[in-house]
Structure 1
């Protein structure tokens, strides 16, 4: 295993959870809601998700939905996100030791997406008006997974800050902030980047003081860290 591949293998199981799926696969292979999967092992996480789902539904009902001005770019971003999800599903379900084939598939897609991402953002981040809210969410996923170019991630994170309320969702920005901080050797402010320690997930060090981390997570509507770790262990359990 070459050095780059080995480094990616470690990063892969750190598990940055960006878009929490509404559906997941139970141990018996059935598709089930994530809330149902979490109900017994992580009851407070399931309750948190239930509350947030109601809030999100209410926001969607009251917020106007505008058609993206650049439909071609919107469609492309959505397709790229779909491919990202397709190759990462086996990674998520592979537990602590995903296969080399699964990791290679993710690396190949990330490399293609990164090349296109550089072109798309060469003159700055596309606006929400240009690509719509869903297109913006898709774009964020691609940036979050652009680990082969941490300088690009840092630049786009800084550009997003200038966009204010028209930028990415605060919780998403928090997770990208953690990712960039780790690559710079700094503390994770939100503790979202996980890896395995003695068979269990834990925030990758360095990470800030946990009480301060929890306050920051709450400020951007992220679930408590203990619930997040519990949820991720359920999702990462080999199936």
Structure 2
């Protein structure tokens, strides 16, 4: 009888523990879903204005400031979530939200959470492509070349789009394939309505380097 009571107690404890974990995951997902909405809505508005050639408008600049404030608020919430490690059992959108908030943060924050995202990739909690995109952004902010070609520069004066400097342009598609990213031609066409060729990249490289240098002054 005692043995049965012990087994029943263990089972009840396990069930209660699972329910508590499920409840925690649901709460975190609800928070992250709200963050996703606030992160993406502003950026969709900016993309729309960009496509309309309004990057120098007051409306665009006000929206950029609004985005920066919202990013700061979102980062506070995501940091509090990551204080306990990358959560288990999150849906895809919730996982992507954590990554996006770190991707949109300042350089110091990106570098701080890079090992956590790397560990999450190793534990199959987030996508290898997320780690690749974060590495690209960190590299460029540190004055280095990007690895995976994820970052595009848009000249606010001319509206022309450039692939930012690459470490290994000749092998870019194979490097992207290793982390689950599509070929450059597919990515650029879908995301930026751009065509990709090594010839164009090398032709534009001096100009993009000049533009980046001018922007950093």
TM-score by length of 1: 0.61
Give the match for residue 32 of structure 2.
Answer: 77
- Measured on the aligned residues, the alpha-carbon RMSD in Å equals 2.4
DSSP-derived class of the 2:154 partner: strand
Counterpart Cα distance in 1 of 2:31 and 2:46: 23
- How far 1:160 sits from its partner (Å)? 2.2
Cα distance change on mapping 1:170 and 1:216 into 2, 3 Å: same
CA contact (8 A) 2:25 2:88 kept: no
Counterpart check, 1:128 vs 2:85 = no
Counterpart Cα distance in 2 of 1:68 and 1:161: 26
Give the match for residue 66 of structure 2.
Answer: 105
Count of paired positions = 165
CA contact (8 A) 2:153 2:164 kept: yes
The structure having more radius of gyration, on CA atoms, is 2
- How far 1:226 sits from its partner (Å)? 2.6
Counterpart Cα distance in 2 of 1:111 and 1:196: 24
Unaligned runs of 5+ in 2: 1-20, 195-217
- Structure 1 ranges of 4+ moved more than 3 A: 66-69, 131-134
DSSP-derived class of the 1:126 partner: coil
Give the match for residue 89 of structure 1.
Answer: 44
DSSP-derived class of the 2:29 partner: helix
Which has the bigger relative contact order, CA under 8 A and spacing at least 6? 1
Give the match for residue 59 of structure 1.
Answer: none
Counterpart check, 1:181 vs 2:139 = yes
